[in-house]
Amino acid sequence: MLVDPDSKVDSELEKNIKANAHKLKPYIPPCVMILIMFVIFKYWDAACNFLGLFLHAAAGLIIGMIIAFLVNIIMSTYEKGLTKLFRGKLKGGALRAVGLIASIVTVIAILIGMICFVVPELVSSISMMITALSENLPKMLKELQNNKYIGEYATGLLNSLPSADSIAETVKGMSSFILNGASGAVGALMSSAGAIVTVVAKLGIGIFFSIYILIDKEKLSRQCTGLINTYIPGNETILALFKLLGKNFRGYIVAQVTDACILGCLCALGMTLLRLPYAAMSGVIIAFFALIPIIGAFLGMAICAFFILTVSPTQALIFLVFILTLQQIDNNIIYPRVVGNKVELPGMWVLAAVTVFGGLFGMVGIMCSVPVTATIYKLLRDDYRRRAAKAKQANGTTETAAPKEPDAGKPKQKKNKS
């Protein structure tokens, strides 16, 4: 029987490859990483353009996932409460429907309450300020006319103030200008109507998509878990990582709301003790804007200061000093403790994460800083404890297994039987 020499060579080559495969395995991950980095740098512009187009096309779905994640926090709380209230009799689709409807009604009620609470006060404050300026400004300028330094400027400003008749003429002119320019305004509105329709459409798609996610969240979770288990190696680690990230983001959002409520209550209480106007409304505004990273605190402070300024400039200055002090106490004492306890992260690391991520990535960095840092902190802590326990166990086993050597200089003594 003849043997093909080529097949013999191929079999020997295959044996050599299998024998040396373990030597090549350590070099495969670095090579893959180098290849990925080369492709990224080579086609960076094209990748950015593709990513931008993808995010623009999937904006409605991304908004829906964000809405679903936020509403799910309220819906889960309602479902747990309803289960305890009805002692487990309300199950399945009925429980999900009641929880979802209650969550949506809660969110809408909060938004409507904020609008109905703040907007009327804003209109009232603007009208009060206009009335106060129209009444008090001429009196103040007349008193300043006798001053030798600014009397001349006060007289010129007083003479330039419009009279009641001129104000009426101005109002008529403005009305005619508005009527005549209505066509231009309509044209400008129609030119931007496309962008407005796009934003509204994406928001509507996001809301409907979030409802579908919330209705079938268990099914979607099983499908995603099945895909990860089937196609991704090391799936247990990845699933644990996603679970930990979701837990930390949920805890962070709850902690943010808790801190905002504490800040709003302290603001209302402090303003009541200082006898400042609009105490309750200012507490609500400060609590609401505290949920917005970076600029939220300044926006809430500016709006409340404007309201108080319509009543008294001195009280507005007192409010600014009070709210700045309260924000420093919250940023350095209350916020790190509240957020750190919810995400199991020490307060020092909360403050460090917000500072570093905010400086690197801005508003998005501040929003993601604490959950991401809490996840890394917990992974490192668990890995450190596991390694320390293994090292301790190994040391204990070595000490236990090592037999005690008998003393060489002392011979064994036989016990005399009595």
Q: Are 237 and 261 in contact (CB under 8 A)?
A: no
What pLDDT does residue 146 have?
Answer: 65
Q: Are 253 and 70 in contact (CB under 8 A)?
A: yes
Pick the closest to residue 99 from 84, 86, 82 (CA basis): 82
Q: Are 78 and 223 in contact (CB under 8 A)?
A: no
What pLDDT does residue 273 have?
Answer: 93
Identify residue 408 by its one-letter amino acid code. A
Task: For the chain, give the number of residues.
Answer: 418
Q: Kindly give the parts of the chain with pLDDT less than 50.
A: 1-3, 164, 167-168, 171, 175, 178-179, 182, 185, 408-410, 414-418
Handedness of CA 228, 218, 78, 211 (dihedral sign): positive
The 10s digit of each residue's pLDDT in 147-178 is 655 666 666 665 665 554 554 455 455 545 54
Distance CA 260, CA 266 (A): 10
Q: Are 96 and 76 in contact (CB under 8 A)?
A: no
Q: Are 259 and 252 in contact (CB under 8 A)?
A: no
What pLDDT does residue 403 have?
Answer: 53
Q: Are 55 and 62 in contact (CB under 8 A)?
A: yes
What pLDDT does residue 150 have?
Answer: 64
What pLDDT does residue 84 have?
Answer: 87
What pLDDT does residue 32 have?
Answer: 79
Q: Are 285 and 303 in contact (CB under 8 A)?
A: yes
The token pair at 166 is: 């001129």
Pick the closest to residue 76 from 96, 56, 54, 61 (CA basis): 96
What pLDDT does residue 322 have?
Answer: 93
Distance CA 34, CA 329 (A): 48
Pick the closest to residue 62 from 210, 221, 241, 196 (CA basis): 210
- Taking the domains of the chain in order of start, what are their residue ranges? 34-160+198-215, 238-385
Q: Are 207 and 65 in contact (CB under 8 A)?
A: no
